[in-house]
Amino acid sequence: KAVSERTLGHGFFIDSVPLSHILDLSTSPVYVTSLNAIAERISIYKKSLENYFINHSIFYAMKANYAETILQHIKETGAGVDIVSIGEWRAARHAGFSPQKICFAGVGKKEVEWIEAIEGGIGFINVEHLSELQDILNYLSTHKLKLSSLPILSLRLNPCVEVKTHPHLKTGALDSKFGILFEHFVNWINIIQQDFSTQQDFANWLSPLKGIHVHVGSQLMENKIFSLVIDKVLECAHFMFEKNMLPMHLDLGGGLGVPYEGVDPNGDDIKKHIELFSTILVNNIKKYEALQDKWGKKCENLNVSFEPGRSVVASSTVFITKVLYTKHNSAEHHFCYVDGAMNDFPRPSLYNAQHQCEVINFQEIEKLETQFHWKIVGPVCESGDFLSSDALLPNLKKNDVIAFFEAGAYCRSMANNYNLRKLPSEIFIKDGRIIKIINNELPPIQ
Ligand code: LLP
């Protein structure tokens, strides 16, 4: 395959900036991100949703990539942000997101975390446990906050569905720590109503509880599971209605996968995938209308939201690393040592993820003709340190440059200082221009 065929966002050029130029500006390894590619993904989500829902929100799951430049750029698109810790709350606020456009999801939140977010005017909190719900409602009712400024609380349902993905990325089955089983959902609403029934004005103080949240896993390549998930969400909605609560916020989580293997150069696969995913969700949410007809009561301000992470940022970024040297242990075992390692680019060692890679410097023709199945390994002191377990590439030599694709999600955000290595550099490109370069330093000596 001719590497020169790769264009926008992949390979030699990112948004018409040559990668050779990029390497002159930063130390390797480096993440290079096209901000335009990110905005494009957000706009596909938006377009697919706005035709149907008057009120819809996209909360970008910033755990996928929390670089400030990316957050600021996503904020400009009008999207909100999904956070999971007080660190993410502060980074989102620092990047300029309005608190009303922030949703705090996540299992095991600490009290100090949600209090800071509530005091800061957060718009949405997704609750994962009865104890958390009781504490938050008690806090809201005793702190005399204005009713109009309370966050919308959503209970996270565990719909008990089996999804196809890496075991670490499944979050909606019986053996999952996440969310609430339907039986618990029912019990907990009953308990909460009892708890608050003695309080004056109790309907008001329960009023923030008007949402249902669900997120069944990440890197999901099959869309059909979502129709099952939405049916379960609507069962909860019906139960809430019977309890005099009108669920007006449905948060359907994230999870849409990207094709890591067999990536197409212009990212069209992922665009089609987002469109199809949105259509399936939209068609299934229509069932909510039928349900409301049955109730004889309309939920005028229904807001449907999503928390996509990976599908927004994965294909915006390449990870670039330089060859140090090579070694041939046998006719089958070929090692290529690069300057990037598992601490810089952790998905292969964590999930055995196979990101496609290519040599991006020009090689003489005869070198391209000889190919090896390389194990691409880094300088970290363990055998789990590999960036690819089987990459078919030419006869590599010192200073050759290898790019790994689909590197925008859960790569830089999971990088760490293991072996006291410094974090990789980062370069951001917008409208064909480099707008920011970050050359990280070695971690401070404690
Ligand atoms: N909402 C919730 C509640 C989540 O837990 C997640 C991801 C998302 C949204 C965003 O999901 P996405 O659209 O990105 O699939 N480190 C792993 C992925 C962990 C995903 C964690 N939760 C990886 O590298 O594959």
Q: What is the per-residue DSSP string for 309-361?
A: -HHHHGGGEEEEEEEEEEEE-SSS-EEEEES--TTTS-HHHHH-----EEE-S
Q: Tell me, what's the pLDDT at 274? A: 80
Identify whether the C-beta of residue 34 lies closer than 8 Å to the C-beta of residue 316: yes
User: Are the beta carbons of 309 and 60 closer than 8 angstroms?
Assistant: yes
Task: Return the best residue to mutate from 310, 312, 316 for the ligand 1 pocket (most ligand atoms within 8 A of CB).
Answer: 310
d(CA 127, CA 156): 6
pLDDT reported for residue 8 = 32
82 within ligand 1 shell (Cβ under 6 A): yes
pLDDT of residue 31: 96
* Residue the block writes with tokens 């000596």: 445
Q: Does ligand 1 have an atom closer than 6 angstroms to the CB of 253? A: yes
* CB of 313 closer than 6 angstroms to any ligand 1 atom: no
Least confident of 63-67, 100-104, 133-137: 133-137
Peptide bond into 29 cis (omega under 30): yes
CATH number belonging to domain 3-33+315-438: 2.40.37.10
The residue among 299 and 41 whose pLDDT is bigger is 41
Q: Is 307 in the pocket of ligand 1 (CB under 6 A)?
A: yes
- Decide yes or no: CATH 3.30.230.10 for domain 35-314: no
Question: 85 CA to middle of ligand 1, Å?
Answer: 14
Mean pLDDT of the chain: 89
Q: Name the β-bridge partners of 437.
A: 427
Residue 215 beta carbon below 6 angstroms from any ligand 1 atom: yes
Average the pLDDT over each of 68-77, 140-149, 335-344, 358-367 and give the range with the smallest value. Answer: 358-367
pLDDT at 7: 38
Domain range list for the chain: 3-33+315-438, 35-314
Residue with CA at minimum distance from ligand 1 atom 15: 255
381 among known catalytic residues: yes
Q: Which two tokens stand for residue 382?
A: 């363990």
* Identity of the amino acid at 315: S
The whole-number average pLDDT for the span 30-42 is 94
- Do the domains at 3-33+315-438 and 35-314 have one common CATH topology? no
Nearest CA to ligand 1 atom 16: 410
What interface predicted TM-score (ipTM) does this complex get? Answer: 0.99
